[in-house]
Structure 1
Amino acid sequence: MTNILSHNITQMMDVNFTKKLTDEDKFQIYIDDVFGKVYIPSYIFIILMLVLGCFGNTTVIYVFYSKWHKTTYRVFIIALAILDLVNVLVTVPSELYLMQNAFKFSNEVFCKVSRFCTFTLNISSAFTLISIAGDRYFRVCRPLQKQLSVKKAKIIVLVGIIIAIVFAWPVLLMYGTRSIVVQVAPQIFVPGHICMINDAFKYTAYSLVFSAITLIVMFSSDCILIILYSLIVVNIRRRVVFSLKTSRIKTQTDKKQRDKAAVESKVQSDLLKSLGTPTDVELKGYPQEKTNVIGMMDATAYDKSESSENCTKSNSREIISNSSQNEKIQSERVHKVTLMLFLVTVIFILSFLPLYVIVFIRIVQPNHYNNLTFEGKATYSFFQRSFIINMCANPVLYGFLSKKFRMECGNVLKRLWNYFQNKNVFGT
């Protein structure tokens, strides 16, 4: 009897509590539910990218600035790392804040500035990658032409940032808080706000044109990168094929020369045997003793002449061999750097590809997101932020492909470990 009474009282309290819930309370419960079911995977992913991006890009800037020679390659790598680091410090916290305040976002200035910075930094990175591809193209495919200087590489990076700012400025006008209606229960609809193209520009020709131009520009950038690196790959392949043919011909030529030398040596040996030694031959009009002396002098002169000629030939071959070896090493280094920068470009394109698809879907089907399940929205949210991978992946790629970078990173970690041990941070 007591248990039944207690159950009824608890049920009555639950009913009374439910009746006391306002629409705002239900809205907050709905937001918490959405955060747990939709945003948690993206939230954890972004925090990991924040840690990796800060440490990785800072390490790249330090290592390349202090340990690498001044080259265009160094300029572009440092520029990319700086852009990625700033992007991580601006975009990633902004995304975390937006997810925590989903449907209740009201800071219009924050939305404008954060989106403007994200657009500017991503476009600057794309322009820098195009500059890298152009530099690689001329170094691999047009090595005899005048190459890009370090000073001009710095100017190109700055010009790219300026172009990105000019292109991204409409974001400051169009982005802000957009009003939406959120269904928190079957019969309950609550007004909310999100950070996107604001109400004044929503579904207007301006927003559609800007979105379309953004897609076209980014897609064109990707096409330019693919074309340039395709030309580079074709050129490298031709060089490899030519090198293999040349090596095969050289091997055959060397074999023929060795066979010819062996035949000549055998003929000369047989001739000397038939004539006898120089002391057995008497020159006409000279006594035996003088003949021997003259023969020895001639032999000595011949040996010196032959030795000098052989030495000259040997030095020439050594110089040619060293020059050829240096050219081969330099060519391999250029090809290795080109491969690494090509993979950087591939990661950039692949990380933005899901976002391109989502933007295209937004243009074609504006209500597509609302019709998705929680699982679908979680997937949508994750791929919407996949471009953040690009800000953090480059240091990992450098670590895999550059032995020098790995060694320098190891030295940095050792110095940090020694520093913390000396400060007794770990309590040992």
Structure 2
Amino acid sequence: MYTSPLPSDSCTIFTKDEVNRIRSQHSDQMAMTLLPALLLLSIIMFVGFIGNILVFYVYFTKFTPSSARSAILAMACYDLVTCLFSIPGEIVDMRFSYSFTSEVMCRGLRMVTTIILVASGLLLVLVAVDRFQRICRPLNDHYTSKDIWKRIFLLSLLAAVIAIPSPIMYGLSYTAIDITNSDKLYKNQTLYGLECSTSEAFKNHPLQRAYSILLLAVFLVAFTIMIILYILIGKQVLRHHSFVKAVRQGSGHVLDKPHSSHQDNNEPSFVEVKESSVLHEMDQDKESPTHKESIAKKTDEKKSQSRKQSVMHRIRKVSQAGDSRTRKTTMMLFCITIVFVISFLPHIILKATQAFNKHFDQNLNTTGIVMYNIFVRSYFFNTAVNFFVYGFCSPKFRAECKALVFSFAFLIKKRRASIKSDDIQ
């Protein structure tokens, strides 16, 4: 069924059945050529689906609410939508390269994919801002779990608004089929197949170029913001390590001058505020007059000093543990950001190449066609990789996944034993 008139140079000697037959034949041939790409996307879809189900379940049930947990749950939801809708749609697109006939599916696929990609990028910017505040601005108000969910909802709406043109500009498009060698009966004739691409009305249209530039600009701005924030975070972490190293190499006493990102603003660090308040209270206790003997007074002073050191030690220990967890979480989320950026780069490079050379993808050999179809969809790679990043960076997540797998295996084993017992009876 034709959705719009064929290009003017299309041959009209074909019957409808012949058109469908030739389109199906060439779709089958292209599917065999793209079999490695189809298998790879299928693996990414399967691994991403299982992995993100585990991520969502473990972080939802085993971790306490926090800004990082909220961001990870949202990213898992985005990835699950990708595995359930976007990747299957792309597989169908490659399977029916010349006979894609569903206009609704094509437009819906492009819109969902655009929303997820833009929302994921904006979410990672939000994560970078949250990490920056926690590492570099420890005394400021930080995002709570509820704050993060509110902003995730808003950035998802923004992504949906940005994606509005996608179902308008994308749709069924005609692509020429070379039938000179495949069907001698129609030698030197031209036939057009149907593919899911830029719709005929917007091919080479200024609005289509403007929209592509907008999407590229969103990615580049988000990438720049994330790079700047993580550079600042990295500098602060290095300063912290230098400070700790200086303390350990010194006399073992607390340095009088706090080494913090707030030095320039004359703001004390979190640890310094805690310590100074405790010291002040103890000093007040110590300064209260007593009528005891001098020996007893010295004994009290020693006890007070010992108590002070004990409290200070506990404060530092708790603070250091909290700082360590924050840095580890920041490193994990930074790795997630790097994976997202790296997985997006091949797609950006190929699209930029096509912008300068419109016939770039039409002059490729078989290997080139396969590689092109893989890397033009490279933004799906992070969907399967994120699970392994969480497992590598978070010991608790890794332990909970192992426990879950062992519990599941035990239930299966118990179920099989029960079935065998029923058979014996």
TM (normalized to structure 1)? Answer: 0.80
Task: Write out aligned runs for 1:4-403 (5 A).
Answer: 27-37=23-33, 39-186=34-181, 187-251=188-252, 304-403=296-395
Distance 1:215 1:205 in 2: 15
Query: How far 1:167 moved relative to its partner?
Result: 0.2
2:92, 2:348 → 1: CA distance? 23
How many angstroms apart in 1 are the aligned matches of 2:419 and 2:189? Answer: 56
Give the AA of the match of 2:206.
A
Hey, what's the Cα distance between the residues in 2 that align with 1:51 and 1:165? 26
Could you report, residue by residue, the CA deviation over 1:92-150 in whole angstroms, capped at 9, with x for unpaired residues?
11011111111111111100001100100111111111000000000000001111122
Cα separation, 1, equivalents of 2:417 and 2:346: 43
Secondary structure at 1:250's aligned position in 2?
coil
Residue 406 of structure 2: aligned partner: 414
From the CA coordinates, give the structure whose radius of gyration is larger: 1
| Inter-partner Cα distance in structure 1 for 2:135 and 2:254 | 29
C-alpha deviation, 1:88, in angstroms: 1.1
Q: What letter corresponds to residue 367 of structure 1 in structure 2?
A: H
Aligned counterparts of 1:198 and 1:90: Cα–Cα separation in 2: 21
When residues 253 and 354 of structure 1 are mapped into structure 2, their CA distance, relative to the original with a 3 A threshold, is closer
The one-letter code of the counterpart of 2:202 is F
The answer to which structure has the higher helix fraction is: 1
Q: Distance in 2 between matches of 1:222 and 1:99?
A: 30
Q: Identical aligned pairs, as a percentage?
A: 26
How far apart in 2 are the matches of 1:408 and 1:365?
Answer: 50
Kept after mapping to 2: 8 A contact 1:182/1:191: yes
User: SS of 1:423's equivalent?
Assistant: helix
Supply the distance in 2 between the matched residues of 1:243 and 1:253 (Cα, whole angstroms).
Answer: 10
- 1:156 is displaced (CA, Å) by 0.4
Query: Shift of residue 395 of structure 1?
Result: 1.1
Q: 1:415 Cα shift?
A: 2.1
Tell me the equivalent position of 1:11. Answer: none
Shift of 1:29: 4.0
Distance across 1 between alignment mates of 2:242 and 2:41: 45
Shift of 1:185: 3.1
RMSD: 2.3
Whole-Å Cα distance in 1 between the matches of residues 19 and 197 of structure 2? 24
1:190 aligns to what SS in structure 2? strand
Decide whether aligned partners of structure 1 residues 79 and 426 sit closer, same or farther in structure 2, where only a CA change above 3 A counts.
Answer: farther
In the alignment, the residues of structure 2 paired with residue 77 and residue 140 of structure 1 have an alpha-carbon distance, to the nearest angstrom, of 19
One-letter code aligned to 1:195: C
* SS of 2:204 mapped into structure 1: coil
Render the CA deviation track for 1:277-329: whole Å, top value 9, x for unaligned.
xxxxxxxxxxxxxxxxxxxxxxx966654443322221111110111111111
**Structure 1 unmatched ranges of 5 or more:** 1-21, 255-299
- Distance in 1, matches of 2:214 and 2:308, equals 60
1:165–1:26 CA distance, 2 compared to 1 (3 A): closer
Please give the secondary structure, in 1, of the residue aligned with 2:407.
Answer: helix
Q: For residues 250 and 114 of structure 1, what CA distance do their matches in structure 2 show?
A: 64
Shift of 1:183: 1.0
Distance 1:89-1:24 versus aligned 2 partners, 3 A rule? closer
- 1:246/1:52 CA distance change after superposition, 3 Å: same
Query: What is the rounded CA distance, in whole Å, between the counterparts of 2:100 and 2:82 in structure 1?
Result: 21
1:28, distance to aligned residue in structure 2 (A): 4.0
Q: Which one is further off, 357-366 or 40-49?
A: 357-366
Distance 1:246 1:408, change over 3 A: same
What letter corresponds to residue 335 of structure 1 in structure 2? Answer: R
Q: Using the TM superposition, give the Cα deviation of residue 23 of structure 1 relative to its aligned residue in structure 2, in angstroms.
A: 7.4
Which amino acid in structure 1 is aligned with residue 233 of structure 2? I
Q: What is the TM-score of this pair, normalised by structure 2?
A: 0.81
Secondary structure of 2:176 counterpart: strand
Q: Distance in 1 between matches of 2:392 and 2:419?
A: 33
Shift of 1:252: 8.9
CA distance in 1 between partners of 2:417 and 2:386 (Å):
30
* Distance change >3 Å, CA 217–CA 253, structure 1 → 2: closer
Distance 2:309 2:104 in 1: 71
TM superposition shift of 1:424: 2.5
